[in-house]
Amino acid sequence: MPRVRVSTRNWPKWTLLGAWGVFLALPVVATLLYSVATVWRNQAFPDGFTLRWWIDTLSEPRVVSALLKSTWLAAVTVVIVAILVLPALYWAYVRNPRIRTVMQLCALLPFALPFVVLAYGIKRLAGASELTQPWESSVLLVVLGHVALAFPFFLWPVDGSMASAGARRLSEAAEASGASPFSTLVRVIIPNIRTGIITGSILTFATSFGEYSIARVITGNSFETLPVWQVAALDDTRGNPNGVAVMAMFTFVLMFVVSVLLARASQGEPLRLLPGIDDRAK
């Protein structure tokens, strides 16, 4: 009777992928269980389950206000970053490559400086002049801080898509047909880099939505975003850890749904993260 041999060649790969999947999924599962737990003592699973924390947290006016502020702040950040990056990067590809070098260097600043230092520097800079002192603790500075922080997360995917699409070649073809630079950007370049814009928008929105330090340092508690509320809820003497778990899961699900919807809007185009490289490259 012939012996059946089971190949073990791929076992290390699948074992590593499985361990990595468990490592990523375990915090999400634990947060989900805690958000519906009645009491969770020193044991593997809660004593019981309830939706009371979800109902109470999502119906609290302070939480709703913080959620709306975070959503508004993230959306405004995406719009401003897109307005700044798209024309400048397009012009760098077709006219002045030095602009792209400067943009890449600026994109490194949020990683070279801690977020707290970045926020404190913006606040001190605004307070250094009598003209800008009224804006020292304003929401406008929070928006500017989020734009500086999220800038690289929009720049790099768009840069990759623009390089892969051949922005210079497309621009030359459009200009040969009599199109203006603005018309070329809006009608030719942007439709061809849609995937990069969607990817950058998702990363920018998520980065801004979850940022705590900038709003806290600049405005204190006067502009309470969702991350600021979560930290305050944990620091409160009464505490609300279950509510924090609820909002963490709510944010996770919200970001997942938005990402899926936006990814479907790209109509199956490859995800480009770096210039000339996409997810199908080998």
In angstroms, the CA 185 to CA 90 distance is 7
pLDDT tier for residue 256 given thresholds of 50, 70 and 90: confident
* CA dist list (Å): 78 to 25, 116, 139, 176, 190: 28, 21, 16, 32, 15
Domain spans of the chain, in order of start:
68-226
**Backbone phi, psi, residue 49, to 5°:** -130, 145
Which pLDDT tens digit goes with each residue over 51-73? 888 888 888 899 899 999 999 99
End-to-end CA distance of the chain: 42
Instruction: Just give the CATH number of 68-226.
Output: 1.10.3720.10
Query: Using CB atoms within 10 A of its CB, is residue 222 exposed (0-12), middle (13-18) or buried (19+)?
Result: exposed
Run of H or E residues at 272: strand 272-274
Which pLDDT tens digit goes with each residue over 167-184? 889 888 888 888 888 888
